[in-house]
Structure 1
Amino acid sequence: MGLPDATVALVAGATRGAGRGIAVELGAAGATVYCTGRSTRGRPSGYGRPGAPRPETIEDTADLVTAAGGVGIAVPTDHLDPDAVARLVARIDADRGRLDIVVNDVFGGDFLTEWDTPVWEHDLTDGLALLRLAIDTHLITAHHAFPLLVRRPGGLVVEVTDGTAAYNDRHYRLNAFYDLAKTAPIRLARSWAHELGPHGATAVAVTPGWLRSEVMLDEYGVTEEDWRLACVREPHFAISESPRFVGRGIAALAADPARARWQGASTSSGELAREYGLTDVDGSRPDAWRYVVEVQDAGLPADTTGYR
């Protein structure tokens, strides 16, 4: 499913993980993709992975976009810096004169999170920094990018988060800071739907499932090629998905001429895959959030039968 010729996308937070997978799949669908983030070949970010065993820079992502069939353009950008984001959008305008897709995927707060820690015990500086990364960056990006997006009708905004609205409304997500950080993008998508709808644009919140990001693979000491070995330590990891899976769902959403039916919705990689007939890189179709509710949270033994 290809995108219209000359489609221009901005993937904010494209260094690794879901952002990289989304950028690459938009490239595979034919888009020109501006890949932004703070990790560059000459200057790694403060994310906490300077010794990462695999390339995790926006230049590497841009090269993968181009190799997939699109045009990848790396622009180092700190999305907490309004002036930097303004310069980014001005460059896109000067280069292409249009912006069709904005993917707000900036986070980078995992290493600031103290899991299952009450707010009075959690480091306050880290918690507030986490919220700035998760929320302020998205607001700053929207403020500067949306005027270019609405210049042409039919734009798409994707807020990437962790968890669907249905799941997050019923569950406490690890600590107060993380809970707020991952609920906020869902609310932002609803806000953008209200504000952008009259201009012919669509806004959607999308969550991947249990993502085999670079960080997660390192956590389990595996690679994308042998990731199933991690199931010995964590059997439910069998439902995990590659970053390309959510990317394929978002690319299909962007190519859907009737995507306005998703306006303001909260959806998942699994739901998008069912809707558009997509599979992950291994040919499977994991439905992680249904699995989490019906198997993992229900305390049942790991069994992905009927879920991938």
Structure 2
Amino acid sequence: MAAATGPDALRGRIAVVAGATRGAGRGIAAALGEAGATVICTGRSSARGNEHSDYDRPETIEKTAELVTALGGAGVPVQVDHLDVEQVRTLAARIGEDFGAIDVLVNDVWGAELLKGPPPTWNRPIWEHDLTAGLRILRLGLDTHLITSHFLLPLMVGKPGGLLVEVTDGTAEYNAEHYRLSVFYDLVKTAVNRLAFSHGHELAPFGAAAVAVTPGWLRSEMMLDHYRVTENTWRAALIANRPDGPTAPPGFADSETPRYVGRGVAALAADHSRGRWNQRSVSSAELAREYGFTDVDGRQPDGWASG
């Protein structure tokens, strides 16, 4: 793992990963667990049911919490719809009662992977998009983050050293120069970077920091399913004209597991000088170069370099 972290680097720290069910959220929760943190894993998909989720998938917050614990941390699953103000208010009250405060908040709520549409629908003008779906993307990608910060940040500012991580797609620099799929998607992913800047302005007087972090090309559960591969066989997706699934573009060779961005977040949380990152926007690859950690296969991929 990283030189900057180890199995006890975050022992005793309390982290909340909002949107921990799958993808980057699960990877971040797992990496915080590797470093010994107690991780409150929230999301809509639970063993108790996922009727409020936009996905019909098998991943659950309970499975994420089990992974956190198996890796050396303590996973605590809590089913929450982060669009529901009362549910998030209740979450904050529960955390305050059970733990008193939090050290790390990760805003990874998304849930619009299906709503953004397949590649043939990208780069179409707004009037050719479904407006209801587009506005739902904004709610899932922005309102959830704002609601979560409103209720949970008060639990972090009572002592210096807190860290807020806003997870997005693309750094502020990259997104400023590249149109991202559609007006709706572009707005959300650009705005989340700005959220880290805005929150960082508000958190600095309390000795806390906010950082926007983007993974590269993520080998999430949904991405692996799309290419009909597993984490063990993902390179098969690069084979041209393969009979058992679609062929991935060459850039997929530089894809990363969700644990890679997670290790970046863990390294930030363990860095006593984390305040130097306040209001910045960085990629998992940039953090890997800074802190020296690798992905689970020992590589340091940089999907943005090939993009």
* Among 136, 143, 160, the residue aligned to 2:167: 160
Q: What are structure 1's unaligned runs of at least 5 residues?
A: 293-308
Q: Contact between 1:9 and 1:31, CA under 8 Å: does it hold in 2?
A: yes
* Among 95, 101, 105, the residue aligned to 2:104: 101
> What is the CA-CA distance between 1:256 and the residue it aligns to?
0.3
Specify the code of the residue in structure 1 equivalent to 2:123.
D
Mapped pair 1:119 → 2:126: yes
> What is the CA-CA distance between 1:151 and the residue it aligns to?
1.0
* Among 132, 135, 146, the residue aligned to 1:128: 135
Mapped pair 1:59 → 2:62: yes
* Among 263, 266, 275, the residue aligned to 1:251: 266
CA shift digits 1:185-207 (9 cap, x unpaired): 10000001100000000000000
Q: Distance in 1 between matches of 2:298 and 2:34?
A: 17
Equivalent residue runs for 1:280-291 within 5 Å: 280-291=295-306
The percentage of aligned residue pairs carrying the same residue is 61
Q: Contact between 2:106 and 2:165, CA under 8 Å: does it hold in 1?
A: yes
Equivalent residue runs for 1:84-233 within 5 Å: 84-114=87-117, 115-232=122-239, 233=247
Q: Distance in 2 between matches of 1:202 and 1:161?
A: 17
Aligned-residue Cα RMSD (Å) equals: 1.1
* Among 16, 23, 29, the residue aligned to 1:17: 23
Equivalent residue runs for 1:291-306 within 5 Å: 291-292=306-307
Q: Distance in 2 between matches of 1:49 and 1:192?
A: 29
* Among 258, 273, 291, the residue aligned to 2:288: 273
> What is the CA-CA distance between 1:99 and the residue it aligns to?
0.5
> What is the CA-CA distance between 1:4 and the residue it aligns to?
4.2
Specify the code of the residue in structure 2 equivalent to 1:190.
F
Name the SS for the 1:222 alignment partner: coil
Q: TM-score of the superposition, structure 1-length normalised?
A: 0.92
Name the SS for the 1:10 alignment partner: strand
Q: Contact between 2:55 and 2:111, CA under 8 Å: does it hold in 1?
A: no
Q: TM-score of the superposition, structure 2-length normalised?
A: 0.92
Q: Contact between 2:251 and 2:303, CA under 8 Å: does it hold in 1?
A: no
Higher relative contact order (CA 8 A, sep 6+): 2
Q: Distance in 2 between matches of 1:198 and 1:97?
A: 21
User: 2:244: which partner in 1?
Assistant: none
CA shift digits 1:51-90 (9 cap, x unpaired): x4xx410000000000010000000000001111111111
Name the SS for the 1:112 alignment partner: coil
Q: What are structure 2's unaligned runs of at least 5 residues?
A: 240-246
Q: Distance in 1 between matches of 2:276 and 2:172?
A: 17
Mapped pair 1:8 → 2:23: no
User: 1:298: which partner in 2?
Assistant: none
Q: Distance in 2 between matches of 1:228 and 1:47?
A: 30
User: 2:242: which partner in 1?
Assistant: none
Mapped pair 1:34 → 2:49: no
Name the SS for the 1:23 alignment partner: helix
Name the SS for the 2:48 alignment partner: coil
